[in-house]
Amino acid sequence: MWSRRIDGGGRAARGAGAVLTTATLVTGLLVGAASGAEAAARVDPDAPYRQCADSAIATTVLADPEGSGAGQRLAHIVFENTGRSVCRLAGAPGVSLVSGGDGTRIGEPADRRQQGVPVQVMLRPGDAARADLQYTAVDEGGGPFDRACRAERADGYRISPPHSFRAVFVAAPQWACASSVHWGVAGYVDTNPVGEANGTRGCVNSRTVPAGAVVGATVDVDRDGLQDTQFTAAVGDRRVYGVRTGAGGVVTVTDPLRGVGVHGGWTANLDSAGGTITVLDDQRTARLYAFRGCRFVATTHRDGGAYAFTIGARTGSGTGVACNDRNGGTLLVRAGLRARSGGRFDVSWTLVDVSADGRTAVQRKDSKEVRWAGLKASDPRVAQARASSCDALLRVEARQD
């Protein structure tokens, strides 16, 4: 199925569609009053740092039968990052019902959630954020709104991502109210949970993610088959890192690093006994933690001192922390850089073993190897060797002043 794209110049284009649940829903393409150039030139000062570009977002709407009943409906508006770099979304999308084949709005737009503070969702290429649309179903008689509705047939939704001045059309034929009734509420974007429970009990508690957190997808920390979320947030005068499990638990650890600037963190499931580990950093020092029994454990050297990595140094045996991706596995490594003549560098890796209980870690000195030799200073692998990262896993980050 193909959908039309309508911009200020009336130009039409084709876009791919998808059959979802019981309705045919089409990946959104540009509509709206502002031209592409005009909308692109406008910048919302409240948009998050590195807001996802409109051209890098694919929009779909998924009906949720399990969340619907008694005249109320639930749909999920999904924004996928189709770009080539990490970007952010925060806030509630704009949602209207349209008709006439030209994007003419019917009645009032959906209300945007006003309660609470939205999180910032960090999206790697291919990741998706989701906003829930809760609305009242109407029919040709106006449904529960009765005569106050003035029902008209809608072609579908006009949706603009949060802080965007451009909108997309997503086909979803239905009845809509042409009068001023409050028919729906669009919630804040959050991570898009995926996965299917495997029968293992995940981490569950009644805690919540702190307001204003920067969130993003992470690995399945409690191994229950559900998508988990990681976040970093300011709580009073301190910063915390945490995970929100797909089962409904929130677990946090206080960031002990005091550097001024960007603080970040990532979590990985290591091979063998290493289990799940977390690395927090302030771009100068990185600290190692393990996730065991639904809590974070501070990992130490065997002599009892906190296990830390130096990062950001120009050269040395320890300039960064990373993951060894050899043979498709995931192992923790200390990265090092050695300067060679002609401004080139060798990158070395030394394996770090984490105990089964996560309480201690030791550098396996006999494992040191030159991973790449003779790299130019501009090679991204040189920059990675001075940083804290783990292959394609997302590192959530925020500025700490």
201 inside domain: no
Looking at the chain, how many residues does it have?
Answer: 401
Q: Using alpha carbons only, how large is the chain's radius of gyration in Å?
A: 24
For residue 70, the model assigns a pLDDT of 78
10 inside domain: no
Please tell me what DSSP assigns to residue 381.
H
CB 53 within 8 A of CB 87: yes
And the tokens for 173? 């034929």
CB 190 within 8 A of CB 217: no
Residues 252 and 130 in one domain: no
Residues 77 and 160 in one domain: yes
C-beta contacts of 381-386 below 8 A and 24+ residues apart? 381/347, 382/337, 382/345, 382/347, 384/320, 384/322, 384/335, 385/319, 385/320, 385/322, 385/335, 385/336, 385/337, 385/345, 385/347, 386/311, 386/312, 386/313, 386/314, 386/319, 386/320, 386/335, 386/337
Residue pointed to by tokens 């031209």: 35
Query: How much is the pTM?
Result: 0.83
Residues 173 and 232 in one domain: no
CB 120 within 8 A of CB 89: yes
Domain count, the chain: 2
- Full domain range(s) for residue 336: 214-400
Residues 227 and 177 in one domain: no
Domain boundary among 191, 222, 246: 191
Nearest-10 Cα torsion for 226, 227, 230, 231 = -110
CB 239 within 8 A of CB 397: no
For residue 17, the model assigns a pLDDT of 31
CB 335 within 8 A of CB 384: yes
12 inside domain: no
Please tell me what DSSP assigns to residue 227.
-
The H or E element spanning position 370 is strand 369-376
Sequential pLDDT tens for the chain (401 residues): 222 222 222 222 222 233 232 233 334 444 444 445 555 557 788 899 899 999 999 999 999 888 777 789 999 999 999 999 999 999 999 999 999 888 899 999 999 987 767 899 999 999 999 999 999 999 999 999 998 999 999 999 999 999 998 999 999 999 999 999 999 999 999 998 877 778 788 999 999 999 899 999 999 999 999 999 999 999 988 999 999 999 999 999 999 999 989 999 999 999 867 899 999 999 999 999 999 999 999 999 988 899 999 999 999 989 999 988 665 578 999 999 999 999 999 999 999 999 999 999 999 989 999 999 999 999 999 999 999 999 889 999 998 76
* 38 burial via Cβ count (<10 Å: 0-12, 13-18, 19+): middle
Residue 280 to residue 301: CA distance in whole angstroms: 16
Residues 222 and 162 in one domain: no
**C-alpha distance from residue 307 to each of 24, 87, 141, 235, 261 (Å):** 53, 31, 67, 24, 22
